[in-house]
């Protein structure tokens, strides 16, 4: 009878991980090395293709509004904004604003989105009343993310480097130049550009702004006019001009 405490016995009988490694690393007697490499490469291509296909299937507007929480609330608001309907016919969809283009950032965003799926099935915002209760929290989550990435998704379409401020409406040109001079980011002035602002939004954004740039919570309009307007007064003016 073997003694399990005998070092010689333990050496002859590797653990589970060791046995698995031996099976993986041991050359196959049935297939050549070339066959195994080709099969492995083909399997890798299938996996990679399937993974990217799944990523793209979950990265379009139809998927985003497939749950009623989005379709019945923020999507209806978005349809009334300049990002949905405008003179140029160029439309920014949900993923354009909320999903990064770069692959590694996109994967990270999809991982975070699994939390949203959890709350969908948990019914956290399953009714308009529940959604309104959570609106300020949902908005601040997005604002904080955009602040931390320097409004990365906004810059997929809007980039200061390619703006000719002299061709913009006077107020817009001044505001954007002030933003460049003061190292501001898009979300500093454009909260609510695609969705309705929640109650208490101004104070909430000031708190977020203070986390990233203490003391710089004024709007662009306030800065260049020297008047302490609310950033939301400034934003409303922009939205009004865009609709007219």
Per-residue pLDDT tens over the stretch 181-195: 998 999 999 998 999
Does any domain span residue 131? no
pLDDT in the model for residue 11 = 56
Does any domain span residue 122? no
Rounded average pLDDT over 2-22: 62
At residue 123, the 3 state secondary structure works out as: coil
pLDDT in the model for residue 234 = 39
The residue ranking higher by pLDDT, 92 or 237, is 92
The per-residue pLDDT of the chain, averaged, comes to 80
Radius of gyration of the chain (CA): 27
pLDDT in the model for residue 18 = 72
The residue ranking higher by pLDDT, 225 or 21, is 21
Residue 29 has pLDDT above 70, yes or no: no
Does any domain span residue 76? no
Q: Among 30-39, 77-86, 127-136, name the one with the lowest average pLDDT.
A: 30-39
Count of structural domains, the chain: 1
- Please count the other Cβ atoms lying within 10 Å of the Cβ belonging to residue 50: 10
Assign 27 a pLDDT band (cuts: 50, 70, 90): low
Does any domain span residue 41? no
Does any domain span residue 13? no
pTM of the predicted model, to two decimals?
0.68
Does any domain span residue 221? yes
Rounded average pLDDT over 107-134: 90
CA distances, 20 to each of 16, 25, 26, 36, 189 (Å): 6, 9, 10, 18, 57
What residue spans of 100-197 are helical by DSSP H?
Answer: 103-122, 128-148, 170-181
CA distances, 188 to each of 64, 127, 142, 170, 176 (Å): 25, 30, 12, 19, 11
Distance from the Cα of residue 233 to its chain's centroid: 26
Rounded average pLDDT over 125-150: 93
Task: Tell me the two tokens of residue 231.
Answer: 């950033």
Does any domain span residue 213? yes
CA separation for the pair 118, 131 (Å, rounded)? 15
148-207 residue pLDDT tens: 999 999 998 999 999 999 999 999 999 999 999 998 999 999 998 999 999 999 999 999
Q: Which residue, chain included where needed, has tokens 């139809």?
A: 62
Rounded average pLDDT over 206-226: 56
Does any domain span residue 96? no
Residues in the chain: 244
The per-residue DSSP string of 89-112 comes to -----HHHHHS-SSHHHHHHHHHH
Domain that holds residue 218: 160-243
Residue 35 has pLDDT above 70, yes or no: yes
């Amino acid at each position: 009878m073997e003694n399990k405490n005998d070092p010689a016995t333990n050496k002859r009988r590797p653990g589970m991980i060791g046995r698995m490694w031996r099976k993986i690393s041991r050359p196959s007697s049935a297939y050549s090395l070339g066959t195994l490499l080709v099969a492995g490469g083909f399997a890798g291509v299938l996996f990679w293709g399937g993974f990217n296909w799944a990523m793209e299937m979950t990265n379009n507007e139809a998927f985003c509004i497939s749950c009623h929480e989005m379709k019945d609330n923020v999507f209806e608001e978005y349809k009334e904004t300049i990002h949905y309907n405008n003179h140029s016919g160029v439309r920014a969809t949900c993923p354009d604003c909320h999903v990064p283009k770069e692959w590694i950032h996109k994967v990270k965003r999809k991982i975070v989105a699994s939390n949203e799926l959890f709350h969908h099935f948990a019914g956290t915002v399953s009714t308009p009343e529940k959604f309104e209760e959570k609106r300020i929290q949902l908005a601040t989550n997005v604002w904080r993310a955009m602040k931390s990435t320097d409004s990365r998704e906004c810059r997929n379409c809007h980039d200061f480097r390619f703006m000719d401020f002299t061709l913009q409406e006077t107020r817009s040109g001044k505001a954007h130049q002030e933003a460049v001079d003061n190292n501001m980011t898009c979300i500093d002035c454009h909260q609510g550009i695609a969705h309705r602002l929640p109650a208490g939004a101004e104070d909430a954004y000031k708190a977020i702004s203070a986390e990233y740039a203490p003391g710089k919570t004024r709007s662009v309009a306030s800065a260049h006019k020297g008047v302490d307007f609310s950033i939301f007064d400034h934003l409303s003016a922009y939205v009004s001009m865009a609709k007219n």
